[in-house]
Amino acid sequence: MQLMRIGDRGAERPAVRGDDGTVYDLSSVTGDIDGAFLAGDGISRARAALAEGGLPQLPEGGRIGAPIARPGKVVCIGLNYRDHAAETGAAIPPEPIIFMKAPNTVVGPNDTVLVPRGSVKTDWEVELGVVIGKEARYLDSPESALDVVAGYVISNDVSEREFQLERGGQWDKGKSCETFNPLGPWLVPADEVDDPGKLGLRLWVNGEQRQDGTTADLIFGIGHVVWYLSQFMVLEPGDLVNTGTPAGVAMGMPGQPYLRAGDVVELEIDGLGRQRQVFADA
């Protein structure tokens, strides 16, 4: 089972996708796939409704929105793969590097992504996104931290490297441009992902593969990241945690082939679906 949101931007309706690929309207169960739904045992209720067989089927071809409503916050971990740190010339961090991304950057997995005005260094980053399902405050251990995870999702942490690294201040302004976080196509419940620490991540630009990594190479694993964040902030249901990207970004490649209008980015993670974005000028 996978959770989705289908419809025009701002008018998405909650949906559930069966393992056979059929998508059903979940409006009779919840108004949206949001923090309240996740905190209120919504995944179990959706699973039961799907098993009962009475949900109306949705027609094919509708826009796929982000699988969660706008999160309260988007928390990101930088330089969390050894090969990515190496390609950028950075040292392995002794503790997770935390930065924030504006929640309104979250868009659907196939929506147009806008290259910011004045940008010459817009980059891609395929990442495993972690969606929080329970309040997380001063968690006891990395092992117990996995209990607050609702599910997993593909996240493209689009970045503008000049804004991020060359214009002073914090990374956020190179991460928070509009449309800079395509998410989805669906949210897979945590109990349906056998091992989130062994998922392959891949990304292509204009048909050429740029990234091919695995979450087995995370410096700080998923449980550690969620536990660590809970020592500094309260994570709430519906929050999104982007866990880092493997090697293969434009910044680390010869010639630094940054994205331009007309470029097509496709990305996938094992068991979590696939995204496709066409880039355009803002």
At residue 17, what is the residue type? Answer: R
The encoded tokens of residue 166 equal 């060359």
Same domain, 175 and 260: yes
The encoded tokens of residue 214 equal 């695995």
Is the full-model pTM beyond 0.75?
yes
- Residue pair 106/72 in contact (Cβ under 8 Å)? The answer is no
pLDDT score recorded for residue 169: 83
Domain count within the chain = 2
Residue that finishes a domain, picked among 24, 43, 65? 65
Same domain, 60 and 112: no
Residue that finishes a domain, picked among 25, 40, 65? 65
Residue range(s) defining the domain that contains residue 30: 2-65
Q: What is the pLDDT of residues 103-139, one digit of tens each?
A: 999 999 999 999 999 999 999 999 999 999 999 999 9
**CATH assignment at residue 190:** 3.90.850.10
Same domain, 100 and 189: yes
Same domain, 130 and 250: yes
Secondary structure percentages of the chain, helix, strand, coil, to 5: 20, 30, 45
Same domain, 61 and 103: no
Same domain, 240 and 104: yes
Same domain, 117 and 18: no
Q: In the beta sheet, which residues pair with residue 152?
A: 130, 188
Same domain, 148 and 128: yes
Same domain, 253 and 164: yes
Same domain, 49 and 167: no
Q: What is the pLDDT of residues 250-276, one digit of tens each?
A: 999 999 999 999 999 999 999 999 999
Give the residue among 72, 80, 73 at the shortest CA–CA distance from 97. 80
Going by pLDDT thresholds of 50, 70 and 90, the confidence category of residue 82 is confident
Same domain, 60 and 111: no
